[in-house]
Structure formats: C-alpha cells, structure tokens
Structure 1
Amino acid sequence: MNKDTTRVHNDKDNVWQIAIHGTFDVENYGDLLFPIIAEAELARRLGAVNMHRFSYHRKSARKWPYAVTSLTELPALAHQMDATLIGGGFIIRFDKCVADGYLPPDPSIHHPTGYWLVPALMALQNGVPLIWNAPGMHCNEIPEWGRPLLALAVEHSPHVRVRDALTQKALQTLSAHADIKVLPDTAFGLAQVLDVHTPSAELRDIFRRYDLAGPYVVVHATQGLQSFLALWRSNSDVLAGVKLLVLPIGPVLGDHPSALGAPLDRAVTLPFWPSPLLLAELIAHSAGVVGHSYHLAISAIAFGLPVFCSADLEVGKFTALPAYGRVFQLRHDQTLDPQWLVDQLGRRPLSAATCQAVEQLREHWDQVARLIVSRRAAAPEVINRLWQFLPALLENMQGPQQAAVETPRPLAQATQPDWRSAYHRFKRLISRSTS
C-alpha cells in the first residue's frame, strides 16, 4: 500500500479556503468524519487549509468536534472559496425525512437540496472548482423538477466521484456528457489519517478507566442484533476472554445502549459520546465490530478488522461491502457458532480490495489538490443562462393557477400556458450548453 502523496506546488501566500457541504451539524459518526478526512488529506498536499464546514445549523468548536458554518451565511462567502466539496455520505437526496426534526434554519432554504445541490450551483456561479467527494444516493428518486438542475451541476463539475455503482447509474440517466466515476467512501482512508500505532491520550485514559486493555468488540447500540446478543448471553464460557464496548454510532438516528435490552455481561458503556476521531480509535483498537452502521463497517475494514453486519448486504449501499472481505451477515434466523466468532476476531492484513480502495482515494485527493491549485472550474455562463430563462419558466408555471381564477373553467383548460413545455425548453437549454 502506497502512503506517499503528491505534494502540489502552492503559489498562494495565504491559506487555502475550502468549503465542504453535508450534515455536519448532527450526531452521526460517518457524517462528522468527512470534513476531518478531507482537511487532513488536502493539508498534506496543499499546506495550510481553512476548512469551511457548511450545514444547516451553526456549531461552535467549544461544544462540537469542530466549527460548523450555517448555510444562511453561504451566499456571502461562496465567492471566497478556492474549492467546494459536496459530501460524502448519503446526501444526494430529495426526500424530506433526513432525520427527525432536521430542517433548515431559514424556510427560504429548500430542504434538503439546500445543503448539497444549491451549494453546488453557487460554486458554478462563482467559478469555484466543484468537487463531488463520493456522496451517495442509496436508492432514492430524482424528481422531474430536479433533474435539469442536477444534470447542470454534474456536467459542469471537473470531478464527479460517487461512492457506489447504484448512485453512478442514477446520475448517468441525467446526462450523456457527465463523467461520473465510482470512488470508495473516503472513510476507507481512515488509516491514512489516524495512526493506530500511537494511541491518543484520550484513548489511553478510556482503556485505563474502563479496563479495556484486553480484546473487546465494538457493538452498535441499536436494534436488530438479536442473533449476536443471544450468542453472547448463552456462551459466556467460550467468550469469557472478550469484552463488549457498546457505542452509539448515530445518536441522531436513535442509537442508545437501551436498544440492546437487558444489560450484558462484560459490557462497557461510556457516559459520553466520543468525538469522531476518538470513536474511530476505539474501533481501530478493537477486535471487531457488530452492528448496522455503514461507517462502523468501513472503519473496521480500513483497519483490517472483521465486521458482523446486521444490515442486508444485498440491498443498496451495503452491497459494496462484502468485496472487501471479512464482512459477515447477521441474520435473525441464524444461530451463530461462538467458537467460529472467536476465530474471526482480530486484526489481519488488508484485503486486496481494501488496498485498492486506499490507492484510489490517494489518487482522488491528488487530483482534487491539482484542481484546486489550477482553479479548474466551469465558466459561470451556464448559470447566467439559467437566470436569463428562469423568470419565463416561473411565469409559465404560475400561469395555470392565475388562468383558472380569471377564466371560466372550460376556456381555462383550452388556453392556459403550458409550463411543462417551458420546463422542457429549460432542459434543452442546459443540454445545448454542454454540447
């Protein structure tokens, strides 16, 4: 595995200003990791980097793993960025149920495209390099109204990388011009950011206070782990040398130790939710992980650890995981062999697929750094054409409602403007701008 990186020549006298967009304002391990990984990888290549983490809600570094800037401030800041990164994570979405109560602070910001698609369009408008940093869709639909806007965003980005083939297939239906490639989730590069051989002072303190010096398994504090819990409760003799560390991976999604039911023997819970890098360390120093979380699984894979996954490995984003090796399906109707489980535990050399993923990510960050330095971005002409056309589109969309009020119904049906025709003219305009 090649850990060398390409150092890009930096002619700037000041700090690079990099925007990254996602849901960094919620307690969810995977979402919080992306800016940390991006900052470390880009700083290694570019030197000093100021990472602007944009989400709906502002967060202070005093009470959060890092500062988060509210999207209400983006219109005033977008033109100052040297690059805009979208994702990763499951953020290419149009459904409203992102998380319970998760909504923009200003109702004028569209939900949920306000935290991913609108920033992408702003980057195009301001001539800022637009980077798709391996976001995913995970089987959700693209509504008809959103298709031309999303097509515009991906066609005019110099670097579109998505995290799975399902997302690639969905986006490729938008355009024959966009160059969309699959890239492993950037969390596969955790071992490049976190030195597992040098535990942090926080980790050493946890080991000391909670007696975790021996082998332990990280257990996702969520429902659906019945087969593993039954195994643990009925085979204490075989499993006596192993402890459990029960961790919420996404408290915003309802994770809590109580989801596992009655207390478990030799199980440790922490009185606080660890910061993302500390949580990653706890995973990296474990003997394996059990749970449903996608990024719990990826983190274990990145450090050569086994994954006992309760998610369906034949559906959506999880279909990519078995190829990396040592990813085992937990089924409700399956009785686990305790000795088999013990035999699987522990760190082993990375699989060929995992090493390839790490190399792909190295090339990704090298290319992103080069794009930032060259400031390769789309000319804002295409967005200017959008503004030129938008009033006509909106007027045509309003026409049917106004005509229905002012005109008798039979006549209105015959004469109302056809907003769908205007909409399709807009799509053709975007198509011509990329030819």
Structure 2
Amino acid sequence: MSRAWQVGIFGTFDVANYGDLLFPIIAEAELSRRLGAVKLHRFSYHDKTPPHWPYEVTSVSRLPEIAEHLDGVLIGGGFIVRFDKVIATDYYPPNAAIHHPTGYWLTPALIALQHGIPLIWNAPGMHCNEVPPWAVPLVKLTLEHSPHVKVRDTLSQATLARLGDTAKVEVLPDTAFGLPRLLDPQSPSARFLALCAEADLTRPYLVVHAIAGLDSFLTLWRTHAAQFEDLQLLILPIGPVLGDHESVLGENLARARRLPYWPDPLLLAELLAHAEGVIGHSYHLAITSLVFGVPIFCSADLGTGKYTALPCHGRIFQLRRDVAIDPLWFRAQLGRQPISAATAQAMQQLETHWDRVAELIREGRRPTQQALNQYWQALPGVLEGLHTHIQHQAAELQAEREHQQHALEALHHSNSFKLTAPLRHLRRTLEKWLGALRHD
C-alpha cells in the first residue's frame, strides 16, 4: 500500500471562527477526491485536539521537524496575509521566537521553498492592508517562486502583484464557494435534524448573526413581528473568538431560538443552507448563503475590501443601521432560489484550482532551494544596510535635537528674552491670583 500524501495547510484554524475552520475541511475533501489517501497537517499557532475541537491542529512550533516530510504546502485561505498585531484577543505565537503574525503564513512559505515543497496560495486575502517595507523582499521571494498564487479578491491581487516582477498573482473565489461539494441540503443530516429538535426549531427560520450593527433588522422584527408569524429566528454566533454572542442582540425578539452549543463548521453550514434568509456581517456567512441560494442581508460595507467580490453573485442585500427596511420588500426576498451564474462559475473555477493543486503535489519537489540559498547569502548585507540606515536616521535625529537645544539656549540668552522676563513674571502672578479668586 502506498503512503498517504503529506500536505500542510496554514492559517488560523485554532480560533473559534466559522470561516477559518472551514478551509482545512474543504481542502482535505478536495485533495482526497483527487489524490486518494491524504494526511492533512493543519498548522496554526496552537495545538488543538478532538473532541473539544473539530479536528487536530498542529502548532507551527513543530513545523521545523515536520517540514521535510511534506509533499505540498497550502497558505490559507482567509484574511491571513497581514502584518498588524491584533488578530484576535490574546492571540499570539506559542513562543517569542515565532514572529507575529507572519509566523502562521509567511515563514511557513519560506520554509516550504527552502525544502523545495510545492507552495500553493490557497486564495488568502489581505483586506485593506499593505506590505511594510521590511517584509517586501520576503513576500516577493515567496510570490516569485510559488507555482500557484491565487488570492480571493482584486484588491489583494493589486497589492501583491506590485511586489513581484515575475509572479503571476490571480484572483480565485474563496474556497468556501465549494461547500456544495461537501453538503447536500436536499438530504438533511441526522445531526441537523437532532439539533433542530433540541433547539425547538420547528418552523421555517431566519438565521441572525449574533453581532452588533443589525439595528434596522431588529427594529423590523420587533415592529412587524406579526407579519412574520410563520417564521422563527435562529440567533447564531459565527465567530465567538471575535465577540459574537446571543446576548448582543438583546431580548424581546419574538420566536427567537438559540442553540445548546456552538456547532462544528459543516453543521453550521447546514443550518445556513436550510434557512429562509440570513442576516449578518460575516464574509463566510454571506458566501455560505449564496452557494445554497439563500438570500443574505449583509451589514458589512459591500463596497469595501474583500466584500467587493460578493455583489456579483446576486441576492446579497446591503443592510444599513439607520435605514428602515420595508417589511413587504423584505418578505418578498426570502426563500431559497437557484444560484446565480456567477456563483456557478466560481464553483467551476475552484474545480480547476483543486485539479491544479493536486497536479503540483504529484509533480513533487521543485528547484527552489537555490533561490533561498542566494537570499540567505545576501541577508548579512541586507541586515548591515538596514543597521547603517537606522544609525544614519539616529544620527540625524540627534543632530536635530542638538540644533533645537542650541536654538533654545540662544533664545534664553537673547536680549529680547531678558527684556520680556518681567512681563512673563507678571502674567504668571496674575494667573495665580485669578485662580485663587475662582476658588473663593
């Protein structure tokens, strides 16, 4: 029997956020379909294990010992190409030697190149952030030596494409558009039916994201609840790690239901697939609704960042906090319908993507070690140049401070400063007297 393919996927799979947890599930299903036996190593900052987590997650601290055994490396998806420090509350690397936040995406990419492992950008995104100057050479290196660079929106593409002269950066729909390959809403699972019974979800329902900013919908429901007597509300956290909680929406929501536990990703997706409509902010909440033909009323700005990739898929409606919703219009939008042509095309693009990923893994190791060796050879010069630049800036700053100090000393010794000293003393005395009078 041949060995299983060893594939690493990198992202934030150790946080309670629906979208992040989906990516390894989709990747494992698609690669197994094409390659046969696949051992997927899900790398994030921290170890996680079932039954308290949907699957096993391996800490990136173990990557140096595992890397040489990998047949492929996938970066993403999700919003992980970033350099800011606030990823989630108290979310940091397992040790100080691992840089935050590039430790779960950029350094694994460099390690893959060092070992000649096929490096695949699995439609990650940037979402309105830039690459700082210190990171440009490293990101450029990974882009130019990856055989497959896919990002999930045109804004991410534009930012990364500027870095590499030879890198071919292309847009690919988020891999969550492939969910229908894993889940058939025409055949409800036993787990789904059991959960609905446990939550007393007995009628057609709307899913409401348990997050702030849904004021216009909440007002609609509280004001016109009688017009929706046949519907229940399912209050559903999508990203508990981001602060989602049922209590955020308050009380007095007629026919509202809550789940007894936070479901695993595929069960959560099934809940969305069977809804009459979905209201919320999450990107993957929206994608899941779209791929199953469910209307999504989105509180995120559809004209900004990653969300600009969604309006072309139809049946996604901008929800604004301060604009009232017409109940008749809202009612007319509800119910599942066939998916749009754009959504069907996205699914086909993903089929081609996974075919190519499997092909690259089968092809085996690539000659990327030389490029990394050349970079390491040049690194001391880069560091020395950076040190010289910092010293030069420090010297300029010190010279500016000395210049300002000399100017201040010259002012203190000037005749005008001496002549106006009595006036300054008089002003301070008057301010002192006036202050005393105010307190009497």
With normalisation by structure 2, the TM-score equals 0.87
Deviations 1:319-359 (A, max 9, x none): 11110000001112211111221221111111000000000
Equivalent residue number for residue 131 of structure 2: 142
Query: Which of 259, 265, 275 matches 1:286?
Result: 275
SS in 1 for 2:227: coil
Equivalent residue number for residue 425 of structure 1: none
Distance 1:332 1:100 in 2: 26
| 1:398 Cα deviation from its structure 2 partner | 3.8
Query: Which of 177, 183, 188 matches 1:194?
Result: 183
2:49 is the counterpart of 1:60: yes
Q: Which runs of 5+ in 1 are unaligned?
A: 1-11, 411-435
* Matched residues, number: 397
Equivalent residue number for residue 173 of structure 2: 184
Distance 1:69 1:139 in 2: 29
Distance 1:328 1:322 in 2: 8
Deviations 1:50-95 (A, max 9, x none): 1100000000122100000001000111111010000000000011
Moved more, 12-21 or 156-165: 12-21
Counterparts in 2 of 1:286-435, with a 5 A limit? 286-375=275-364, 377-399=366-388
Q: Which runs of 5+ in 2 are unaligned?
A: 400-440
Equivalent residue number for residue 267 of structure 1: 256
Q: Which has the higher contact order (CA 8 A, sep 6+)?
A: 1
Q: Which runs of 4+ in 1 moved over 6 A?
A: 400-406
Deviations 1:127-153 (A, max 9, x none): 000000000000101100101100110
Check conservation: 2:149, 2:169, Cα contact below 8 A. Answer: yes
With normalisation by structure 1, the TM-score equals 0.88
Equivalent residue number for residue 415 of structure 2: none
Check conservation: 2:299, 2:318, Cα contact below 8 A. Answer: yes
Distance 1:395 1:107 in 2: 23
2:256 is the counterpart of 1:253: no
| 1:263 Cα deviation from its structure 2 partner | 3.8
Cα RMSD over matched residues? 1.7
SS in 2 for 1:328: strand
Distance 1:313 1:223 in 2: 17
SS in 1 for 2:20: helix
Moved more, 191-200 or 354-363: 191-200
Deviations 1:31-63 (A, max 9, x none): 000000000001011111111000000001221
Distance 1:131 1:326 in 2: 32
Distance 1:337 1:399 in 2: 64
Counterparts in 2 of 1:38-187, with a 5 A limit? 38-187=27-176
Quick one: structure 1 residues 198 and 405, their matched pair in 2 at CA, closer, same or farther if it must change by over 3 Å? closer
SS in 1 for 2:220: helix
User: Percent identity at matched positions?
Assistant: 59
More helix by share: 2
**AA in 2 matched with 1:212:** L
| 1:394 Cα deviation from its structure 2 partner | 2.5
Deviations 1:339-380 (A, max 9, x none): 221221111111000000000000000111111111263421
Distance 1:400 1:354 in 2: 50
Equivalent residue number for residue 205 of structure 1: 194
**AA in 1 matched with 2:43:** F
Distance 1:308 1:396 in 2: 52
Distance 1:263 1:64 in 2: 33
Distance 2:391 2:160 in 1: 35
Quick one: structure 1 residues 405 and 160, their matched pair in 2 at CA, closer, same or farther if it must change by over 3 Å? closer
Check conservation: 2:198, 2:260, Cα contact below 8 A. Answer: no
| 1:401 Cα deviation from its structure 2 partner | 6.9
Equivalent residue number for residue 417 of structure 1: none
Distance 2:143 2:117 in 1: 14
Moved more, 126-135 or 381-390: 381-390
**AA in 2 matched with 1:166:** L
Quick one: structure 1 residues 299 and 390, their matched pair in 2 at CA, closer, same or farther if it must change by over 3 Å? same
Equivalent residue number for residue 419 of structure 2: none
Check conservation: 1:129, 1:378, Cα contact below 8 A. Answer: no
Check conservation: 1:158, 1:377, Cα contact below 8 A. Answer: no
**AA in 2 matched with 1:338:** P
Equivalent residue number for residue 25 of structure 1: 14
Larger gyration radius, structure 1 or structure 2: 2
Distance 1:353 1:402 in 2: 54
Check conservation: 2:8, 2:43, Cα contact below 8 A. Answer: yes
Distance 1:86 1:405 in 2: 38
Check conservation: 1:157, 1:378, Cα contact below 8 A. Answer: no
Check conservation: 1:324, 1:354, Cα contact below 8 A. Answer: yes
